[in-house]
Amino acid sequence: MGQVLPGANVVNASVVIGDRFQGIRGSLVSVFAIMILPILVLIVLASLYSRFYEIPAVSIALNGAGAAAAGMVIATGLKMALKLKPGLAGWLIIGIAIGAILILRWPLVYVVLALVPTALVLTVMLRKK
């Protein structure tokens, strides 16, 4: 479920799990608990970044790390695709999403608004009997 709800997957999951145990208070506490440490680490790293990014070597190293980060997002998508083993409908939906965003350059809001109903229709139409 966390995969298909909009928003940060891990945070959404912690909202639902917190609610199961302690209601709304459980949700609030678990979101706070999951965010506070990363935010504090982030502030430290961000301060280091603003102090040193103008040094050419730091900038070049981060450009390398940025390329790595882009590769990791692609790999995440490929991993999900391998796990999903999409049928014809699945491949069509994936292809339409990539085409609409990268080739047609549609804004993501419109892509999502158009793609969700399209995906439901394709999935029903091409469902294996």
Partner 1 sequence: MMDTSILSQLARTFSMISLIAIGGMNAVLPALRHEVVDVLHWMDNEKFMQLFAVTQITPGPNVVIVSLVGWEVAGLSGLLVATFSMLLPACLLAFMVGRIASLVAGTSGFRLAQNALVPVAVGLILAGGLDLAHAAYRGWLTPILIAANVAFILFTKYNPVWALMASALIALGAHYSGVFPLI
Is there binding between residue 128 and partner 1 (CB under 8 A)?
no
Q: According to CB under 8 A, which one of 25, 52, 55, 67 is a site residue for partner 1? A: 67
Cα of 107 vs its chain's centroid, Å: 17
Give least dist CB 117 to partner 1, A. Answer: 9
DSSP string, 108-128: HHHHHHHHHHHHHHHHHHT--
Instruction: Restricting to residues 88-127, name those near partner 1 by CB under 8 A.
Output: 89-91, 93-98, 101-102, 107-109, 111-112, 115-116, 119-120, 122-124
Cα of 98 vs its chain's centroid, Å: 15
Give least dist CB 129 to partner 1, A. Answer: 14
Give least dist CB 114 to partner 1, A. Answer: 11
Contact between 58 and 45 (Cβ < 8 Å): no
Phi and psi at residue 94, to the nearest 5°? -60, -45
Binding to partner 1 by CB under 8 A, coded x per residue (else -) over 25-44, reads: --x---x--xx-xxx-xxx-
Q: Which amino acid is at 47?
A: S
